[in-house]
Amino acid sequence: MRIDLDGRTALVTGSTQGIGLAIARTLASAGARVGVNGRSEESVRRAVGELREGLPDADLVEVAADVTTEEGADAALAALGDVDVLVNNLGIFEARPALEITDEEWRTYFEVNVLAGVRLTRAVLPGMTDRGWGRVLFVASDSAVVIPAEMVHYGMSKTALLAVSRGFAKAAAGTGVTVNSVIAGPTHTGGVEDFVRSLVGDDLPWEEAQQTFMREHRPQSLIQRLIEPEEIANLVAYLASPLSSATTGGALRVDGGYVDAILP
């Protein structure tokens, strides 16, 4: 099975590190022209440099823009022109007791994790449907289905993405454009390492800390380890490709078997 994205332009939001960086790398390796996005020119430049170390011939575009704002979203799209593949990956998370989450924090999580992707999708979908081809992806989370007690606001935002992606898929019905969400499970990123440490402490070696976290906080995982970002990126690349033409309106799991259900 060969994933070929030659001639396609992709925008991956929040792609200077973690899952987003892995997705950018995988799409670029499949031949796509990839917009690498972050809020600062420094972070974007650093990420592009890292990608070029392994992919010296990759077609990468530096997209330094805060896509949580209308101005930033417009700037990102202007930097790329027509977008064929939109990966709404940008997201924030933090452990907070449910009764301590403020109104402002609830708004922030909705603005960043949901509305930023909605705004970009609303902007690119008409062009995709006019051209008769396009892929829109929302990176959701197992927390969309199994709401974590330690960050209800994050879970709420990821649940919303499942509804949003299904709704946009209906808006694109019959056009050759597909819209899906990806339910990512507990994934090994720098931010997650910090999160794990916040829950199990700083004294344990990383492997032991990870095992403790999975045992005490994510015992449902069937692979009993954190997922590597590249494993998430592999599913995203498939869904971004022509091979996934009959898959739309779905919530597809790459969660290590964490969600204890046959369906999402």
CA separation, residue 2 to residues 83, 182, 238, 242 (Å): 22, 20, 9, 10
Task: Report the DSSP beta bridge partners of residue 64.
Answer: 38
Indicate the residue type of 93.
F
Please choose, from the candidates 182, 194, 133, 122, the residue with its C-alpha nearest in 3D space to the C-alpha of residue 158.
182
- Check 109, 154, 238, 258 and give the catalytic one: 154
258 catalytic, yes or no?
A: no
Residues 6 or more apart in contact with residue 88 via CB below 8 angstroms: 13, 116, 117, 120, 121, 136, 137, 138, 139, 161
Just list the catalytic residues: 154
